[in-house]
Amino acid sequence: MSIQAGTHQIGPSNGSLKIKTGREGAAAKAGHDLVLEAKTWDGTVEIGDDASVKLTVDPSSIEVESGTGGAKPLGDKDKADIKKSMADKILGGSQISFESSDVKVDNGSMNVSGNLSVAGSSNSITMPLTVADDGTVSGSVTLSQSDYGIKQFKALMGALKVKDSVEVQLEAKLPTG
């Protein structure tokens, strides 16, 4: 089954946008691998002769969904501190945006290339997506924070760091037809 031609809106009502982080350094056991979720985001997917994808994310809406590992469980105060650090020191107030330059749609897959802007810096990325029979489009891409001028978060005098690479996962349900 293929995705219905036309313009489709995506966002938290019919999808999810998550970021997975890891940890490294001599004190990595003290930290947590995080799953972050954007709560405020929207996008437009155009399927047809001029296929395109546009997406915007409010960086202040990114929250800690879960954390694994660590010397102790991740508490509500920890989650609030992480959210504040992301907003104040890591992502800043610049809206995160993506605009495609090329979209290839094939039965069962999409390949989306374009420009991603994060924290005031932009780079080209390509994200392969799979299309399920029910119209669910999903995929992930690994990004390097340093490519966007983002310095790795450090704690314990640099003995604990968030890995430079993060995985961004997108899933959205589009109408089939």
* CATH number of the domain to which 60 belongs: 2.40.128.110
Report pLDDT for 46: 92
Q: Does 127 reside within a domain?
A: yes
70, part of any domain: yes
Phi-psi group of 135: left, alpha or beta (phi > 0 → left; psi -120 to 50 → alpha; rest → beta): left
- Angstrom distance (rounded) from CA 93 to CA 147: 18
pLDDT by 10s per residue, the chain, length 177: 578 889 999 999 999 999 999 999 888 888 899 999 999 999 999 988 899 999 999 999 999 999 999 888 889 998 999 998 888 888 877 899 999 999 998 877 899 999 999 998 999 999 999 988 898 999 999 999 999 999 888 888 878 888 999 999 999 998 887
> What is the 3-state composition of the chain as percent helix, strand, coil, each rounded to the nearest 5?
15, 55, 30
- Residue 148 CB burial class (10 angstroms; 0-12, 13-18, ≥19): middle
In a domain, 79, yes or no: yes
Give the domain range for residue 153. Answer: 6-173
For residue 4, report the phi and psi dihedrals to the nearest 5 degrees. -65, 135
pLDDT at site 12: 97
The number of domains in the chain is 1
Q: Is 130 part of any domain? A: yes
The verdict on residue 82 lying in a domain is: yes
Domain contains 56:
yes
pTM of the model: 0.91
Query: Does a structural domain hold residue 1?
Result: no
In a domain, 160, yes or no: yes
Write down the pLDDT at residue 122.
95
